[in-house]
Structure formats: structure tokens, C-alpha cells
Amino acid sequence: MLVRACKRWVIWPGLLAFEVLALCWPAFLNNGHAIVFPDTRSYFIAGRNAIDKIASILHPAPASGNSVANGLDVAMQKARAVRSAYYSVFTFVTADVLSLWLAVLIQALLLSAVLHLIYRLLNLGQSDRASIFVITLAATTTLSWLVSTVMPDVFAAVAVLLTCTVLLFWNDLSRLERILACVGIAASCVMHLSNPPLVFGVLCVGGALRVSRLWAERTRYATVLCGIGIALAATLVVSVVAFKQVSLTPNQPPFLLAHSIVDGPAKLYLREHCPQADYEMCKYLDRLDVSVDDFIWHENGVYSAVSLDSAARIRAEEKSIFWHASLDHPILAIGTTLRDVIKQLFDFTLQDFFIPSIGYASYNPQNLPPGITPSYSYKGQNDLDLGMWIRSTEPVWQQVLAVPEYAVVFFSLGYGVLLWYRCKLSHVDRQFFALIIAAVVINAILTAFSDTSARYEARVIWLIPMIVLAFAFRELLAR
């Protein structure tokens, strides 16, 4: 009895605390600060605007205060809904209540819970050994870097893992766990626009792998689809309330167009058919030789430099230009797309995890190291705009640290294939491994149409070492 009580109240909480610290270790390298990305500030401010919008709906201002409400509506209409309103609220509330560290700790607890579930479902033994499993992943993969960064990237893997558990281990889950898995899929899918198609892609691959049992297991697929549906409905609610549009992507920047211009097809098409094509983009033929990032976000590009009306017309004609350009130059379009996908698939360095970087919800110059000027800081509404400082170049040690990350991924992939070839994996193991590989590839395809970034592939690449490490643990325990 005493041993059992000691495990319950001392050992297991201690192991959980150690897991959380291990999942956050890159933040301790960051001088004890949560890691921030330039988009973190946009999430924070969007979350503040969302809270203000909710407050204005619940407590309408009197006629004399309509100017404040009108100003908020204007700000919402100018916003680009490329970032999740739900992760924005999560970022703002956690930073406002305590600090950005609260967001990191919640992400760490969530990942710990999901990994413990995977460990149990694969029948890997007692839960105290699951801590070794989690800590090993934290030390050797990109997982801890994702957890330590105040960005929604970590939720892509959560959505994939919960989808796999529902499809493959339905009979091993309790009714409550099935409900929580559905809620978890929905919550993960609202955190980033690419997560619903990622989950749907994994669902389709799972259906193809288990096609003979598709009807018998229809409840599993319905559960995942229910999670996706809830997420899409929640996204539409934000669109209608905040942007007065029925769209999953209101005011989203023209990523497809920007990518096609940079890759070549749209640039050639516009220069061949303007001004006869009568596109809004025909007015900016002298600004096409820029990067995707500059085209969308910077004044030397197009989208950020034009008026709101002009930007709206560019968004409206985006798909038309993209498809006509692809049909006019199919070989170039296919070749550059394959190149971008392959580049994205193998790009998971640590360069987008900015160390050192600092972010404060309540900006105070005394919080920053001596001689440092924050990249963004000004007093906003309620004196709560995120003050930030981000390093300008990637340190050499971080480049070196990425080498073992690559080694772990490729070694894990090779070891997983070897186990498959030697028939060491069960039928369900093989399906799990195939779904993880599919998720990594689908993620590369989806994100390559935005702008290739190491951060995008890093968010799911750690799933390969995770599943192979689980297989290796089971082999060792069996011996």
C-alpha cells in the first residue's frame, strides 16, 4: 500500500514534471524565455482583437462609443485570416494571465498525455517507462523545439497521432477516450489551416490500407470526420462574426499566386497575356522578381504595398491566374511543384527556432538585455502589445545541433524499414508506420504551396523517430 501511494503521489508526478522540463529544454537555452517567432506577435495581437470583438458583442458600446467598435471592425477587416483565431486567443490569454511560458507548459502537458496514450496502446509496459520514451524523443528530435516555441506547429502532430489512434486502436480506447480523441482532433485542426487537409489525407490513406474493413469500421472514420467538421464549423463562425464572410480563408493572402510567380509559370503567363488579360496583377509586372515572402508581406512586393480594394481583386483572381498559368506551362508547373515538395520534405533544420529570442506581453525595456532594442514594441490598447527581440542570424551551434536531428530521422527510417523487411512488425504496426510516413509526405505537399520553411516539416518529421523508437522499446522489453 505504501509503495503504491508513493508511486501515485511522488514518483509519477515527479516523472511528469521531469518530462515537461525535458520537452521544454530549448527554452532554457533561450535564457529561460519561451521561444518566439515573428508570427507570434501577430497571433498575440489577433488574440487581443478577438477578445475585444467578443466583449463588444456581449456588451455593446453605447452610441457615443461606436467609434471604438468601428475602429475594431476596420482592424478586423484589414486582418489577414491566415492565422488561427483560436491559437491567437490561446497565445493572448496565456501571455496575459501569466506569460508566454504558460503556453509552452500547456503544449508540453498535451504532448506528454498523447505520447503516454501511444505508449500504452502499443503495449510497451508500465507507465514509468513511458517517461523514458518521452524524454528520449525530447532529447533527440525536433519535438522539444516545437513545444518550446509559441506557435501552433506542434498541433499538426497531435492531430495525426489522435487520428491514427482512432483508426487503428478503436477497440482499445474507452468511450471517454474516443470522445476526447474527437475533441482533440477538432481542437488541433482549428489551430492551423493546414491541419484539416492533413488529417483528411491521413484518413484517406488509412481507408485505403483498411479498405476491406471500411464499412465495418465506419464509426472510426465518422469520429475523425466529426472532429474535422467541428473544426471547420468553428472556423466558419470566426469568418462570419469577424470578417462578415462565409469562407474558411477570409482575406487570406494569395499564396498560390505568389508561389506560381516565383516558380515561373504565373510570371510568364502574366507577361505574355497582360494587359489583354485585364487582371489587377497586370498593373504590377515590374514587381514580379521577388520572393514569396516579399510578395506577400513586404513593401517591396505587391500584396502588402497595394490598397485594400486592389488586394481584394488580387485575391479574387488568384485561382484563375494560377490554373491558366499551369495549363499554359504544364511542364514548368509540375517540375517546380515537385522540386518544392522534395525541398520541403528534406528541410527540417532548426533555423526557424530563434535562439536567442524574447517576447513580453507587457513591454518593459528593463526586461530586455542591455543594449538590445526590441524588433517590435509600442504601447497598444490596454498597454498589452507583445514586445519582441529576435536574433538576426542563425548561430553556428544551432546549425551543428541540426546534424544529429537528421541522423536520428534517417537512422529511424532505415531501422523501421529493416523491421518491416524482417517481419518484426505486426499488421497494425505496419499500418501505423505507413500512416506516419504518409503524414510526413502530405504535410510537405500542403506546406510547399505556401512557402517552403524548415519549421513546416519539423512539426511532423519527429513522428518517424517516435514510432520506430516505440518498436525498438518493445523489442528490448521482449528480450
Please tell me which residue, 27 or 392, carries the higher pLDDT value.
27
- Asked if 120 contacts 77 with a C-beta cutoff of 8 angstroms, the reply is no
The average pLDDT across 136-142 equals: 95
What's the pLDDT band for 66 if we cut at 50, 70, 90? low
The pTM score is: 0.90
Cell numbers describing residue 251: 482575406
Whether 268 shows a pLDDT value over 60: the answer reads: yes
What's the pLDDT band for 102 if we cut at 50, 70, 90? very high
Question: Domain locations in the chain?
Answer: 2-247+395-478, 255-345
Whether 478 shows a pLDDT value over 60: the answer reads: yes
Please tell me which residue, 387 or 461, carries the higher pLDDT value.
461
What's the pLDDT band for 100 if we cut at 50, 70, 90? very high
Whether 241 shows a pLDDT value over 90: the answer reads: no
pLDDT of the residue at 378: 39
**Helix H or strand E segment including 474:** helix 463-478
The average pLDDT across 309-318 equals: 90
Cα–Cα nearest to 278, from 252, 333, 316, 327: 316
Whether 138 shows a pLDDT value over 80: the answer reads: yes
Cα–Cα nearest to 144, from 11, 37, 34, 31: 34
Instruction: Read off the pLDDT of residues 152-165 as tens digits, 9 standing for 90 and up.
Output: 999 999 999 999 99
Q: Which of 56-60, 296-300, 365-369, 419-423 has the lowest mean pLDDT?
A: 365-369
Cell numbers describing residue 197: 487537409
* Residue that is written with C-alpha cell 516539416 in the block: 457
Within 10 angstroms of residue 306's Cβ, the number of other Cβ atoms is 18
DSSP code, position 425: S
Cell numbers describing residue 285: 509586372
pLDDT of the residue at 379: 39
